[in-house]
Structure 1
Amino acid sequence: MAGNNTFATPESSDDFEAMCHQLYSLVWNDPGCMRVGRSGQSQFGVDILAFDGTRNVGIQCKHYTKTKFTIATVQGDVQKADDANLQIGHLLFATTTASEAEIVRQVHELSTSRRASGKFTVSVAFWGDICGHIRVHPTVGKSFIPNYPGGTILKISEESSEILSLVRDVSLKLNNLPGASGTEVDRSGSGFSDSRISGCLASQ
Structure 2
Amino acid sequence: MRANVQTTAGSHMPTIASSSVPPPSSWEEFENICLAATKIRWRSPDFSKNGRPGQQQDGVDIYGYSRDHDLLAIQCKNTTKKVYKSIIEEEIRKAEIFDINLRTLYIATTAGNDAVLQREVRAMHKDRIDQKKFGVHILFWHDIIQDLSSCEETFYAHFPQFFNTSRSQKKLDVEFVKNVLDESNKFGEINYIASDDFHERGVGEMMLSGFNFNLRNWKSRPHKFSLGNLSAVYDEFIRSMEGFVDTANGMAKYYYKGMDAKAATEEDKIKFHSEFSELKQKAARVVRDYYALAREISANEVH
* TM-score relative to the length of structure 1: 0.67
Alpha-carbon distance in structure 1 between the residues aligned to 2:116 and 2:59: 22
1:28 counterpart residue number: 42
**SS of residue matched to 2:89:** helix
Q: Which runs of 5+ in 1 are unaligned?
A: 156-204
Q: How many residues align?
A: 150
Structure showing greater Rg? 1
2:63 counterpart residue number: 49
* Residue of 56, 60, 63 corresponding to 2:78: 63
**SS of residue matched to 1:147:** helix
Paired AA for residue 55 in structure 2: Q
Q: Structure 1 pair 26/150, CA: closer, same or farther in 2 (3 Å)?
A: farther
* Residue of 91, 108, 117 corresponding to 2:122: 108
State the Cα distance separating 1:56 from its structure 2 match: 1.0
Alignment check: 8 A CA contact 1:13 1:63 kept:
yes
Q: Which runs of 5+ in 2 are unaligned?
A: 1-16, 170-303
Alignment check: 8 A CA contact 2:42 2:67 kept:
yes
| 1:149 maps onto 2:163 in alignment | yes
| 1:81 maps onto 2:98 in alignment | no
2:133 counterpart residue number: 119
Paired AA for residue 44 in structure 1: D
1:140 counterpart residue number: 154
Paired AA for residue 12 in structure 1: S
Alignment check: 8 A CA contact 1:91 1:122 kept:
yes
Q: Structure 1 pair 149/61, CA: closer, same or farther in 2 (3 Å)?
A: same
Alignment check: 8 A CA contact 1:8 1:146 kept:
no
Alignment check: 8 A CA contact 1:46 1:60 kept:
yes
**SS of residue matched to 1:64:** coil
State the Cα distance separating 1:6 from its structure 2 match: 3.6
Map 1:10-25 onto structure 2 (within 5 A).
Answer: 10-25=24-39
Alpha-carbon distance in structure 2 between the residues aligned to 1:10 and 1:86: 33
**SS of residue matched to 1:94:** strand
Alignment check: 8 A CA contact 2:40 2:147 kept:
no
State the Cα distance separating 1:84 from its structure 2 match: 3.8
State the Cα RMSD in Å: 2.3
State the Cα distance separating 1:4 from its structure 2 match: 6.4
1:37 counterpart residue number: 51
Q: Percent identity?
A: 27
Alignment check: 8 A CA contact 1:10 1:145 kept:
no
* TM-score relative to the length of structure 2: 0.46
